[in-house]
Structure 1
């Protein structure tokens, strides 16, 4: 009869109920900590402006006030900024995916001369940049200043995306590529007809990175776009959030009352604009969810 293995009394049994409860409790706490800021902004945006200004809203809305959203919807400057952002996001995402693919594929060709040197060279500008002043001078000399291209073109190439896509392409079986070459395919045909169709996961990762990054970008517009008609949505949000208050001492009693009401409304308006500008990019993620985790994993590991 086989000898019985003595069990360690201090070991935790597999499938322990206590461990499961603790893990679920920790996961629930992390979810609440992550989601509460979003929930807080939403309830602040629909609560009574007086309660919002007094910071009395924490767990549930106090009152119900939607005039801030009505004001946002009726603001033509906001819709103009919204349309600009859609242009920046669409163009930037397409160009980021295209440049990442075209830059990554040659770096996976084994007989390419100097391939390792090129990869090493790409790491240098990835960590070290020329700075704001040289970038400003370059954009100005190229005639891109105060045009949409000043925001689109400088951000169309990401070395991080190129390296991520290169790693994904390197994991594609060589037999698939050799079969395409045997059938008479060129490198371009191999790339666009074979490799790209099976690279949806990594392209989804690049797309969602680009969408979120461009959607939240405002600094480039602040530096390169003095024309407000070219400003993106986040720049519009920036102008609203940092606007100055009114000096009540220089106003009459009636004007002071109106100014106070406007100030209270402006405080709540900031939360409403944050919700209005954030929800579209949040709703983007479900469309890429089935590719995102797989692409991020495969693009970051090499067999």
Structure 2
């Protein structure tokens, strides 16, 4: 007997609600008569808005409260941006589905200057991501990169109120919320690699809830799952959390292969190590770990140790 009511836990930001509503709609379409309710919650990452994400520390800044409620039976599942998910989940929880990846790119929003190249020397650029900051400073060491926190709407408002020359946001979030026209440029992948899983949604549920996992299986996109496995294995080897100056991007290739490209950079962008590896999609995790080992040996290990981020593995 399939469940007749499902409760989805979600953060209350507009993007989180869009994501939860999307999954709600897909479930109701797949299972006519199913009642899907949303339960709005607040996470630590939502509460602390006056400090850079990297300084708040800890894993699961945007997931922990949802996960605790799931384990206690308050909600049946949670919908997250895959890029917010720690590489290790709490005991008893599992990723039941990873949706087809939307655009994984990083967008420049700059009404005045339009493109990254057109930004003047010393331009004030806003982002909350160490990954973006390190790669942008590698390309343009003259820029003044400033911390920018808040949800998508808040960040767009701060573009003017705090006199940024440009802000950098995920393409997926802007397009999902109907702000696609605000994008003035998508940063080329050879300049900035995205975050692990950027553009895909992760649906988390209890490991022992076989019925829920079975009901969510139709949302799983196999190609995205292979790519996510490689990217998450890479991140798990180099650090394990979300806030690190690391970018990694896997794409499906011919003959059931995937190609994985990754970067580790110092926060000032002066040292940057980048490489790629290809192999069978079925070996996704192995490829991710191998690529991590290559970049750590090339100089990435020293960078992460300086930042106090490297786990002893």
Q: Same fold, TM exceeding 0.5?
A: no
Larger RCO, structure (CA 8 Å, separation 6 or more) = 1
TM-score range, shorter chain: under 0.3
Larger radius of gyration: 1
Higher helix fraction (1 or 2): 1
Higher strand fraction (1 or 2): 2
Q: TM-score, normalised by structure 1?
A: 0.23
